[in-house]
């Protein structure tokens, strides 16, 4: 089961956009799996992405690196725009083995541009190493295991899971956190895996149709103007999650409905608006036809002044 938790300072309802997770509880294929998620509140504000990577391993050879010699290494190359904030490094024990083994974790420090040792632990048979890491520091990890005897060869493998924090963009509220997950894959009681791993993760790659019939009307007062946009709903093979709104080629907001009010406009100015639809997998449609809008000039009409003219003592 893979879940996420986020909070919103205004108490708005939060939904989650997932990539790589077909359902809360799914069967994942043997090997490395990457799951991404971001939070979206009821006003359309979005968090940065969060991600987790994990391996599904069968008894001896699926996922990770098989121990075939005294020294085994696997490197997590990272995800662009993110740093690793937590890891779990696992080498399952093998019955009957007792040696002078050890595990080591190194991290690539993006600040210094160098690899540095994070953890080193000694063991007689297999190992589990886990640690939280500071945000914004490590972009890659190296997992290393040394075994002093060949009885572990072809009977155990290196696997790991990592969690990421994304650095791009300003968060509207907290990014999803507190991932919790259990993995079910190939049948193997030794590794706690229960189900057939023949199925694979299906990721939606089809974008929504582009929005049609973009129109507007202007709301004006004596001091300001606002542009109210509306358009027809897009269609999607799964579900349309919302719309990106662009003014003069730059994104100015999002909407989960088919209307949007732009209050940051100047009177007597021409603006070009376009709309794009997006779905839960963050596939983005082509843009709508452009709409050109000229805001009205704001006219300040002077309030009438009552004047009093006296023509005689009897007439006012």
177 pLDDT above the threshold of 80: no
Which range of 36-40, 180-184, 312-316 scores highest in mean pLDDT? It is 36-40
Q: Of the ranges 62-66, 68-72, 226-230, 307-311, which one carries the lowest mean pLDDT score?
A: 307-311
Write down the pLDDT at residue 304: 59
Q: What percent of the chain has pLDDT over 70?
A: 75
User: Model-level pTM?
Assistant: 0.47
Write down the pLDDT at residue 208: 87
Write down the pLDDT at residue 213: 92
CA nearest neighbour of 282 among 168, 211, 204: 204
Residue with more model confidence, 297 or 102: 102
Write down the pLDDT at residue 264: 86
User: Phi-psi region for residue 249, left (φ > 0), alpha (ψ -120 to 50) or beta?
Assistant: left
Residue with more model confidence, 55 or 247: 247
Q: How confident is the model at residue 104 (pLDDT cuts 50, 70, 90)?
A: very high
Q: How confident is the model at residue 40 (pLDDT cuts 50, 70, 90)?
A: confident
31 pLDDT above the threshold of 90: no
312 pLDDT above the threshold of 80: no
Both tokens of 298, joined, read: 């704001």
Residue with more model confidence, 183 or 106: 106
Number of helices (H) and strands (E) in the chain: give both, helices first. 0, 20
Write down the pLDDT at residue 1: 67
| Average model confidence (pLDDT) across the chain | 76
Write down the pLDDT at residue 180: 40
Q: How confident is the model at residue 105 (pLDDT cuts 50, 70, 90)?
A: very high
Q: Of the ranges 4-8, 14-18, 28-32, 305-309, which one carries the lowest mean pLDDT score?
A: 305-309
Write down the pLDDT at residue 35: 84
Write down the pLDDT at residue 18: 85
Write down the pLDDT at residue 205: 64
Average of per-residue pLDDT across 162-181: 52
73 pLDDT above the threshold of 90: no
Burial category of 231 from C-beta neighbours within 10 Å (exposed 0-12, middle 13-18, buried 19 and up): buried
Q: Of the ranges 148-157, 161-170, 275-284, which one carries the lowest mean pLDDT score?
A: 161-170
Q: What are phi and psi of 267, to 5 degrees?
A: -60, 145
DSSP annotation of 296 reads P
Q: How many residues does the chain have?
A: 316
Average of per-residue pLDDT across 86-104: 88
DSSP annotation of 192 reads T
Write down the pLDDT at residue 23: 79
Q: How confident is the model at residue 303 (pLDDT cuts 50, 70, 90)?
A: low
Q: How confident is the model at residue 22 (pLDDT cuts 50, 70, 90)?
A: confident
Q: How far is CA 267 from CA 50, 220, 229, 295, in A?
A: 41, 9, 17, 5
Residue with more model confidence, 151 or 197: 151
């Amino acid at each position: 089961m893979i879940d996420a938790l986020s909070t919103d300072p205004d108490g708005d309802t939060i939904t989650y956009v997932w990539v790589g997770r077909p359902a809360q509880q799914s069967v994942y294929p043997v090997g490395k799996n990457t799951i991404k998620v971001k939070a979206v509140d009821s006003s359309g504000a979005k968090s940065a992405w969060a991600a987790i990577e994990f391996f599904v391993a069968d008894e001896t050879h699926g996922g990770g690196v098989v121990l075939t010699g005294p020294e085994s290494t696997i490197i997590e190359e990272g995800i662009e725009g993110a740093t690793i904030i937590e890891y779990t490094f696992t080498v399952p024990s093998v019955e009957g083995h007792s040696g002078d083994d050890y595990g080591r974790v190194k991290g690539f420090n993006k600040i210094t541009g160098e690899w540095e040792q994070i953890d080193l632990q000694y063991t007689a048979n297999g190992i589990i190493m886990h640690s939280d890491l500071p945000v914004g520091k490590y972009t890659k990890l190296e997992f290393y295991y040394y075994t002093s005897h060949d009885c572990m060869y072809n009977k155990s493998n290196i696997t790991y899971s990592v969690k990421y924090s994304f650095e791009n963009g300003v968060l509207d509220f907290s990014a999803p956190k507190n991932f919790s997950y259990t993995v079910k894959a190939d049948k193997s009681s030794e590794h706690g895996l229960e189900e057939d791993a023949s199925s694979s993760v299906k990721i939606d790659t089809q974008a929504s149709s582009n929005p049609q019939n973009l129109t507007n009307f202007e709301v004006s007062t004596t001091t300001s103007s606002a542009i109210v946009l509306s358009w027809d709903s897009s269609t999607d093979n799964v579900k349309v999650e919302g719309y990106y709104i662009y003014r003069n080629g730059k994104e100015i907001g999002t909407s989960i409905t088919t209307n949007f009010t732009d209050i940051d406009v100047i009177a007597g100015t021409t603006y070009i608006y376009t709309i794009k639809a997006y779905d839960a997998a963050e596939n983005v449609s082509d843009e709508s036809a452009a709409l050109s809008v000229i805001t009205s000039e704001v006219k300040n009409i002077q309030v009438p002044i009552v004047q009093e003219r006296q023509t005689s003592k009897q007439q006012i």
